[in-house]
Amino acid sequence: MSEQQPPVYKPFPVSWEELHRYSKALAWRLVQMGPWKGLIAITRGGMVPAAIVARELEIRTIDTLSIASYDEQDQGKLHVLKNVKQDVGDGEGWLVIDDLVDTGKTARAVRKLLPQAHLGTVYAKPDGRPTVDTFVTEVSQDTWILFPWDTEPQATQPIWKTVERPR
C-alpha cells in the first residue's frame, strides 16, 4: 500500500494594497444590495476586509463572529469561539464578511447561525464558492493564500525549484 501524500498547495501571496483593492471591489458589488442593518466580521481573517467594506458602505454597526477551523495549513474541527449579539436575530439585513471561503465549512456554520444574512468574501475556492452570496476573486482549490498579516518579506525559491518535474 502506498501512503497518501499531503496536498501540495500553490502559494499565492497577497499584498496589503491588493487586499485593499479587492475589498473595495467587494464593497462595489455590495453597495446596491443595501441598506444594511450592520456588518459582522468573521474573525480573524475577515476583520481587515470588513473594516474596508464598512468604511466604503458607511456601516457603523459592526459585530464579530469568531469561528476557528484552521491549524496552520490543515482544517480541523470547527469551533464557535464568540457568537454575535442577540439583536442580530437570523441575520436578515446583515452583511457578513470574511477574507476567504475555502471548503465552505465556516460559511455553512455561519448559515446555520444567521440563515438570512448576506455572506461576502474577497476570495473563493471552488469547493466553498456555492456557500457565499458575493465574492470578488476565485482561486484554485490547491491555492494557499498568504495574507499580508501572515507573511514577512523574505527571499524565496524560484518556482522551478519547488515543483516536481518529469525527468
pLDDT in the model for residue 123: 98
Greater confidence, 132 or 158? 132
Residue 102 in this model has a pLDDT that exceeds 90 = yes
Question: Strand order of the sheet with strand 62-71?
Answer: 74-82, 62-71, 38-43, 94-101, 118-124, 134-138
Q: Is residue 70 part of a domain?
A: yes
Segment 25-73, tens digit of pLDDT = 999 999 999 999 999 999 999 999 999 999 999 999 999 999 886 555 5
pLDDT in the model for residue 59: 97
Grid cell for residue 33:
444590495
Q: Is residue 20 part of a domain?
A: no
Grid cell for residue 29:
458589488
Catalytic (active site) residue 90: no
pLDDT in the model for residue 132: 97
Residue 77 in this model has a pLDDT that exceeds 60 = yes
Give the residue ranges of the annotated binding site.
Answer: 44-45, 98-106, 144-145
| Residue 159 burial (C-beta neighbours within 10 Å; 0-12, 13-18, 19+) | exposed
Q: Is residue 6 part of a domain?
A: no
Catalytic (active site) residue 98: yes
Q: Is residue 164 part of a domain?
A: no
Give the residue ranges of the annotated binding site for guanine.
Answer: 102, 145
* Secondary structure of 32-94 in HEC code, one letter for each residue: HHCCCCEEEEEECCCHHHHHHHHHHCCCCCEEEEEEEEEECCEEEEEEEEECCCHHHCCCCCE
Q: Is residue 121 part of a domain?
A: yes
Q: Is residue 126 part of a domain?
A: yes
Supply the range of the domain harboring residue 119: 35-151
Of 63, 71, 99, 133, which is the active-site residue? Answer: 99
Q: Is residue 11 part of a domain?
A: no
Q: How confident is the model at residue 80 (pLDDT cuts 50, 70, 90)?
A: confident
pTM strictly above 0.85: no
Catalytic (active site) residue 102: yes
Give the residue ranges of the annotated binding site for 5-phospho-alpha-D-ribose 1-diphosphate.
Answer: 44-45, 98-106
Segment 127-146, tens digit of pLDDT = 999 999 999 999 999 999 99
